[in-house]
Each structure stands twice: as C-alpha cells, then as structure tokens.
Structure 1
Amino acid sequence: MSTTVAAPPAVRLESVTKTYGKGANAVRALRSVSVDIPRGSFTAVMGPSGSGKSTFLHCAAGLDHPTSGSVRLGDTELAGMSETALTKLRRTRVGFVFQSFNLVPALTVTENVTLPFRLAGQKADKEWTAEVLRRVGLEQRAGHRPSELSGGQQQRVAVARALVTRPEVVFGDEPTGALDTVTAKEILNLLRATVDAMGQTVVMVTHDPVAASYADTVLFLADGDIVEAMSSPTADKVAERMTHLGAWS
C-alpha cells in the first residue's frame, strides 16, 4: 500500500517573530506568526498602517531575517542561510513586483525582463521570454524603453520580469499602488491569470479592498498578529473587516 506525501506549501511561517531595536526602544513588528500559503494560490495581506504587512512580506520572501521562528520556501529553510545563498534563492526561486516599477531606463523591455538572468550570468530562454511577454500583452513593445511606455505597461514589464525565472512564488508589495483604477484592474487581472492559467503562487500586500478581492484568501494583520483569514473575499467584506481593525477609524 503506497502513501502519497502531500507537497509542502509554497511558503510556511512558523512562530515568526520580528523585533526591531533593543530594550525599551524595541518594536515587535511580528508576533509569533504561523501560516501556510498553498501552491497555486493568490493571497492578499492587509492591515492598518504599522500592522506588520511589509515585515511579513520581507520575512516570507527572504529579504529580512526573523528574530525567531521558521520561514520555509517549499522545503527550504531560510533561517541560517548566508546572504549570498539568500540572494541566489531570491534570484532563481522568487519573483518581486513593487509599487515603483524598478526598471532600468537604458534597457529595452526584453532586456529589463531578462535582467535576472544577466545578473546570474545565465542566458535567457528566448522562447519562454517571448511567451511571457505575450502573456502580459507586451509582445509588440519588446524593443521599447521604459520612457516610451505608460505606467501600466511599465508594471507589466515588472510582472514579466518576476515571472520569467519561473519562480515558486511572486511577492507583490502594493503593485497597483501607483496606478489609476482602470490600469490597476488590468494588472490585478494579469496576476489572477498567472495563478489560474500558470499555477503561479502570488502573495500581495495591499491597502485596497478592491485589489484584495482578486485573491483567494485575505490575511488580516493587526499589531503583528494574523487576526483573520478570509476566504472568497469581496471588496465590501474586506472593507468592512478593515473598518473593525481600525484601519480607517
């Protein structure tokens, strides 16, 4: 009789605490946070200002070390890894999309998208790069530079750059924060499609209930704790929950 071993979650945090400073000036940004983020899911992270959202993202993505606790990407424990090893892991197994697009002005769309490979001293797969550009709707803009693109198109370049390494997880830090409502909707639909069509895992910090409604699950943080996980969110339900968290009071 054979037994099937379930695949580990894409990201697992166990009893993660993050404290900045020491003694009387110490600030605890995360308080023993434990959560599993399933593969092929879209998770939004919300909470009032100072609730620990960015710290959660940075610890989960290996951008910052927790003070205590365990962070796993797949079956890889991040605690104790050297900065060199973490840099390699982030470059090959994690994608990032930030509010500021972080594109290199002198490079074309294709060159910006394939930058992770250049930094790693590797050659990009031309067919896969072309496929990613097609998926984000930029195949006709491959030779353009960022200054020739709209804000929404620049964010599409950033999404393509995050996807081109076939990462296990894409982390978004307010990826629609600098965009107008219509353009933000296009980017959110694109992120949703990468989950549904490509099986990608997306974790997104946002302050926008409409953006959060695109996710499968919304994690609500308050004072460094996850106080609720909402499945099948709607913008109205998310906004209502945020009001009770004191986000807009």
Structure 2
Amino acid sequence: MTMSFLRRGDRPAPSAEALRLVSVTKVHGAGGENAVTALDGVSLSLRTGSFTAVMGPSGSGKSTLLQCAAGLDRPDRGIIMVDGEEMTGGNETELAKFRRRRIGFVFQQYNLLPTLTVAQNTTLPLRLAGRRVDRKRAREILAQVGLADRLHHRPDQLSGGQRQRVAIARALVTEPSVVFADEPTGALDTRSARDVLELLQDAVHIHRRTVVMVTHDPVAASYADAVLFLADGRLVGRMDDPRADAVAERLAHLGDEVPIGRPLADGVRAGV
C-alpha cells in the first residue's frame, strides 16, 4: 500500500538522528524499599527513517521507555532529543507544544473520541495544536490507509482494524518526526494486525517517518528493521533484520548475563 504523507517544503529537513536518549533514568515510588527503577541509565540513538521494536518481559521498562521518549512522562535524569532538539527541558505547556509538533502516537486501544467522525478524529491533533486543518490532505491520508469510504463514520461503526487505521492516519497527519506505537496490534486479529504493521512499514521505508513500537509479539517485531531488548530497566541486546523465531528465542534468554556497557549497533549501548 503506497502512501504520500510528506510534502516538500512543509517543514525543515529532518535530522539524520530521529531520537536520542542519554543516560535516561526513571524511578517509580517515593524512595526506600518501595522504589522501583523502571529505567536505569538508558542510552540509545535511532536514525531517521528507521522502524524499531522494543521488547522485554513485564516490568522490564519498555512502556516507561516509550512514555519518557514520547514526552508523556518525564525522566528523573538524562536527556531526550527528538530530531536534534532537546525535549527534556521546559514546562508542561512547552512540552505539550513540542509533542504536537514532533511526535505522533498510536495506542493499543486506539484512543479515538466516540462522538467524532473518522475525519474529525484524524484532524484533531491539528486543531489542538492551533494549526490549519487541510481537509483535502486528511482525506488523502485516510484514502491511503483504506478508509476513503468511512470519512463520516464514528468509531463504533468501525472494526478494530479500521479504528487502528484511523489512529495511524491521526498520528501521521501532523508529519511528526517520530511515531510511537504502544502495542498497536494487541487488540487486533491476525489479518488486521498484518495490515497495520504493513502501514507502519510503508510510513518508514517509503516516506522516511521513524517508528518506535513496543510489542510483546515476536511476529509483530519481525516487521521492524531492528529489535531492542530490555531487562530490568536496561538495554541488553539488539537484533537487526529480525525473524519471529529468532526474536522468540532471544526473549526466552533475556535473563542471561550481558556485560554492562556492551556496545550495540547504530550508537546504541546496553546499560550505559
């Protein structure tokens, strides 16, 4: 499925590095015995136009990594940069503006407003950011994700796969630097999941969007260019050109010891 989300001249040329985390640490709890270190000095660098899956067991820190990298939560220490611009400074208003300019979201449960139509849900981020709503362009994007005949439907009139397509169109309409996807296929049947993953691939490989996807599914991870593995709040491995069976095997051995500071590919280091 071919898409065309980017128009020349719409925004400055992106940085070669879409996302960088430097020694990012996040501790949940007030301290003492109840404190839980969700992220323990995580550093990574992802290039523009890459599709990265993040995997790990429950409690490994993958959801916290996504939330901090996407600006939905603040790390306790460390630096987060999106498209060459630091996100970790500023107040909540400035952070919200940054997210609306640079970041798109795709959630497992879609997060569509039930009273709005497909077209209205898609253009909502533009309205919230105070940007001009180009209805023609929104229709083009919805047509490209297979929803040209659903513009005036509401979410309860759509299948799960169709709702997630709306969520993808909504994430991409603002032309974000990075799209964060949190278990985007977790609530879908096999065919719908495949369609959604192929849409994310097209957005990355054809149109140079950068996607970071948290998933528990080795098959979903196999659609990515690379998989990063987390355990106990630290990056403990990377797999390029992942296959589902190899990903499943690696997940089964995440408890194995990995030397702290072991270098990974493309500027990613485990536990540094």
- Pick the TM interval, shorter chain: over 0.9
- Counterpart mapping for 1:227-238 below 5 A: 227-238=236-247
Q: Which of residues 32, 41, 59 is equivalent to 1:23?
A: 32
Please give the alpha-carbon distance, in whole angstroms, between the structure 1 residues aligned to 2:36 and 2:248. Answer: 27
Q: What does residue range 42-191 of structure 1 map to in structure 2 within 5 Å?
A: 42-191=51-200
TM-score by structure 1 length?
Answer: 0.94
Q: Could you tell me which of 180, 196, 207 is aligned with 2:216?
A: 207
Q: Separation in 2 of the partners of 1:74 and 1:166?
A: 12
Output the amino acid matched with 1:225: R
Per-residue Cα deviation, 1:205-235 (whole angstroms, up to 9, x for no partner): 0000000000001000000010011100000
The aligned amino acid for 1:235 is A
Q: Return the alpha-carbon distance in structure 2 between the equivalents of residues 79 and 183 of structure 1.
A: 36
Structure (1 or 2) with the greater helix fraction: 1
- Write the distance in 2 (CA, Å) between the matches of 1:231 and 1:91: 30
How far the C-alpha of 1:8 sits from its partner, in A, is 4.5
Give the CA RMSD over aligned residues.
1.4
The aligned amino acid for 1:15 is: S
The match for 1:3 is: none
Deviation at 1:123, TM superposition (A): 2.5
Per-residue CA distance 1:165-197 (angstroms, 9 max, x = gap): 000000000010001111111100111111112
Task: Give the unaligned 5+ runs of structure 1.
Answer: 1-5
What is the SS of the residue equivalent to 2:17? coil
Residue identity matched to 1:181: T
> What is the match of residue 18 of structure 2?
10
Rounded Cα–Cα distance in structure 1 between residues aligned with 2:205 and 2:84: 23
Q: TM-score, normalised by structure 2?
A: 0.86
- Aligned partners of 2:210 and 2:199: how far apart in 1? 13
- Partner Cα separation in structure 2 for residue 57 and residue 103 of structure 1: 20
Deviations 1:151-176 (A, max 9, x none): 10011000000000000000000010
Shift of 1:242: 0.4
In structure 2, stretches of 5+ residues that fail to align are 1-13, 256-272
Q: Percent identity?
A: 61
Q: Which amino acid aligns with 1:39?
A: T
- Match for residue 203 of structure 2? 194
CA distance in 2, matches of 1:61, 1:102: 16
Q: Deviations over 1:8-54 (max 9, x none)?
A: 41110011111112122211111111100110000000000000000
